[in-house]
Chains A and B, each alone.
Chain A
């Protein structure tokens, strides 16, 4: 930020660029955010409270928390196992494995839902078998968990891998030499070294799993009060022209997004050097 002589732009250019940039951000980002809260409160605060305490809205909140409570720990354990594998050992096909982990980021969320319908839906590969066993995956909570897990699969792994790569494995090797087993090494040496990056990954993973829409929309079946997560409940209300109620539920998700952004900014400001990939998809 220090203004070097050679970097001093003409004042008119500085003013013009700041004006354009700030106006653009205000219209593109701030206006939609403000609109969510303005629309949610359009009929007053008591109507707002009623909308978010409505029976199906509460069911949607419970389901969203349940799905996140399953998908996030799964992907956290996976992230740790994958990072341990690719950063502490050398083996054939390692770089291919790292590339593979990133795949969910480059496929459409709708495709992430579609693939599970192709496997477990009524006409799916395993559909008839599941039907015989009396297990329903699609149009059910199980399908929602599967699709959410696929969409958020890389978040923890991609935070841990670059950091653990950079830290090397000297400390773990010392622990192993002193007789520590896998779990002791993991809990007392590795985890303390990567805790902030792990937290950062878990934060992004949680935010995405609670807000996921496309993948979940495909597998859920949109049954009010049963298989509708919060984003799906927003869609249902919106399609029923219950706009204020839709924005009321949406405002809770927006509030959660703001908290996520605040915690993320705080983590980056305090532990920026320990957080490898500050990128988020």
Chain B
């Protein structure tokens, strides 16, 4: 539709000639809603740390306790995403390629960490991995403690991030053309060679995408971690908890500073992972 035609139907319509009504009210509502619930609050996060001066911001984010908490949050999230990449691939593989009793039930249960409220998962994991818990008691005699250590933090993050890798890989594995695997077999490749050299490269971009989602979720995770972590400063205290502690001390600028650092670092890491993913796709299609 030409500009003239749309202008004649309603003098103020700037869109590319849609005949449909409601553009301005819908856009206006959408923008107002986003501004109130998201943009204004995020602006506060970006601006408030600086109110008490650069020195205060630097003192907060460079204090050993903050640095240690950030290291733990990002490090444990990375380790958890690696564990999920390995086992998520195995689970996606058996769900797509093999037929076995209970397969559909297992497929449904994969999403449990999304559905189960994090506080519920948190207290349950704490009970299981505590020194007197179902799994913790197996390790306690060997002097291995899981709950109240960084290892416990990682296990909680593995739990919350698990579905991402499975759900990213599954559709790709499902759509993978059988021809390529046939061709590899015809050319004399063993089954393991085919899987390692043909199938894995094909699902790698999806694996990276799942890894990124799992990592991003784990970095900011709070509810499932704080119960199993024990929250010992400098040992098992995660960055989101430090934000809560700063807020309880009414140090708004300090809390905002930690939040802003978390947000900026995760955005940079996600940007790198996205770039890597695009890069892998491009070099694979070449």
Chain A residues engaging chain B, CB cutoff 8 angstroms: 1, 4-10, 13-14, 17-18, 20-22, 24-25, 27-33, 35-36, 39, 78, 81-82, 84-85, 88-91, 97, 100-101, 103-104, 106-112, 114-119, 121-125, 146, 149-150, 153, 169, 172-173, 176-177, 181-182, 185-186, 207, 210-214, 217-218, 230-232, 234-235, 238, 243, 246-247, 250, 253-254, 257-258, 260-262, 264-265, 278-281
Decide if B15 touches A17 in the complex (CB within 8 Å).
no
* A32 interface neighbour in B22, B125, B221, Cβ under 8 Å: B125
Q: Mark B1-33, 1 if CB is under 8 A from A, else 0.
A: 000000000000011101111110111011001
Q: Can you offer 18 A-B residue contacts whose CB atoms are under 8 A?
A: A6-B182, A6-B185, A7-B178, A14-B98, A20-B87, A25-B110, A81-B29, A85-B26, A88-B20, A91-B16, A97-B30, A101-B34, A108-B222, A115-B41, A231-B117, A250-B119, A250-B123, A257-B116
Dominant SS at the A interface? helix
* B118 interface neighbour in A10, A104, A214, Cβ under 8 Å: A214
Decide if A29 touches B120 in the complex (CB within 8 Å).
no
Q: Mark B133-170, 1 if CB is under 8 A from A, else 0.
A: 01100000000000000000000001100110001000
Report the bound CA distance from A10 to B244 in whole Å. Answer: 52
Decide if A118 touches B128 in the complex (CB within 8 Å).
no
Interface centre among B14, B123, B191, B267, by most chain A C-beta atoms within 10 angstroms, is: B123
* B20 interface neighbour in A78, A89, A103, A110, Cβ under 8 Å: A89
Q: How large is the interface on B (under 10, 10 to 19, 20 to 34, 35 or more residues)?
A: 35 or more
How far, in Å, is B34 (CB) from chain A's closest CB? 6
Q: Which of chain B's residues 30-45 have a Cβ closer than 8 Å to chain A?
A: 30, 33-34, 37-42, 44-45
| Chain A residue with the shortest CB-CB distance to B180 | A6
Q: Mark B167-196, 1 if CB is under 8 A from A, else 0.
A: 100000000001001101110000110100
**Is B230 an interface position by the 8 A CB rule?**
no
**Is B91 an interface position by the 8 A CB rule?**
yes
Given contacts A4-B178, A115-B41, A250-B119, 10 further A-B contacts (CB under 8 A): A6-B178, A31-B128, A31-B134, A32-B116, A89-B20, A112-B41, A115-B42, A124-B44, A146-B37, A214-B223
| Chain A residue with the shortest CB-CB distance to B115 | A257
Decide if B94 touches A116 in the complex (CB within 8 Å).
no
Given contacts A108-B262, A150-B37, A169-B18, contact A117 B247 (CB under 8 A): yes
| Chain B residue with the shortest CB-CB distance to A80 | B26
Decide if B113 touches A207 in the complex (CB within 8 Å).
no
Decide if B15 touches A238 in the complex (CB within 8 Å).
no
| Chain B residue with the shortest CB-CB distance to A2 | B178
How far, in Å, is A276 (CB) from chain B's closest CB? 12
Report the bound CA distance from A28 to B84 in whole Å. Answer: 11
Q: Mark B216-227, 1 if CB is under 8 A from A, else 0.
A: 110111110001
How far, in Å, is A121 (CB) from chain B's closest CB? 7
Report the bound CA distance from A27 to B181 in whole Å. Answer: 33
* B220 interface neighbour in A17, A88, A107, A261, Cβ under 8 Å: A107
Q: Mark B226-243, 1 if CB is under 8 A from A, else 0.
A: 010000000000001101
Decide if B42 touches A88 in the complex (CB within 8 Å).
no
Decide if B244 touches A110 in the complex (CB within 8 Å).
yes
Neighbouring B residues of A231 by C-beta, 8 Å: 117-120, 223
Decide if B191 touches A10 in the complex (CB within 8 Å).
yes
Decide if B90 touches A17 in the complex (CB within 8 Å).
yes
Report the bound CA distance from A110 to B110 in whole Å. Answer: 25
How far, in Å, is A39 (CB) from chain B's closest CB? 6
Dominant SS at the B interface? helix
Decide if A30 touches B94 in the complex (CB within 8 Å).
no
Neighbouring A residues of B159 by C-beta, 8 Å: 28-29, 32
Decide if B41 touches A116 in the complex (CB within 8 Å).
yes
**Is B272 an interface position by the 8 A CB rule?**
no
Neighbouring B residues of A177 by C-beta, 8 Å: 19
Report the bound CA distance from A266 to B169 in whole Å. Answer: 21
Report the bound CA distance from A279 to B125 in whole Å. Answer: 24
Neighbouring B residues of A173 by C-beta, 8 Å: 18-20
* A265 interface neighbour in B30, B108, B118, B252, Cβ under 8 Å: B108
Neighbouring B residues of A114 by C-beta, 8 Å: 45, 243, 247, 255-256, 259
How far, in Å, is B211 (CB) from chain A's closest CB? 15
Decide if B87 touches A250 in the complex (CB within 8 Å).
no
How far, in Å, is A236 (CB) from chain B's closest CB? 10
Decide if A84 touches B26 in the complex (CB within 8 Å).
yes
Neighbouring B residues of A4 by C-beta, 8 Å: 178, 181-182
Report the bound CA distance from A101 to B196 in whole Å. Answer: 38
Neighbouring A residues of B79 by C-beta, 8 Å: none
| Chain A residue with the shortest CB-CB distance to B15 | A89
Q: Which of chain B's residues 70-111 have a Cβ closer than 8 Å to chain A?
A: 87, 90-91, 93-100, 102, 106, 108-111
Report the bound CA distance from A111 to B148 in whole Å. Answer: 24
Decide if B259 touches A110 in the complex (CB within 8 Å).
yes
Decide if B220 touches A108 in the complex (CB within 8 Å).
yes
Interface centre among A4, A20, A107, by most chain B C-beta atoms within 10 angstroms, is: A107
* B91 interface neighbour in A25, A117, A265, Cβ under 8 Å: A25
| Chain A residue with the shortest CB-CB distance to B243 | A110
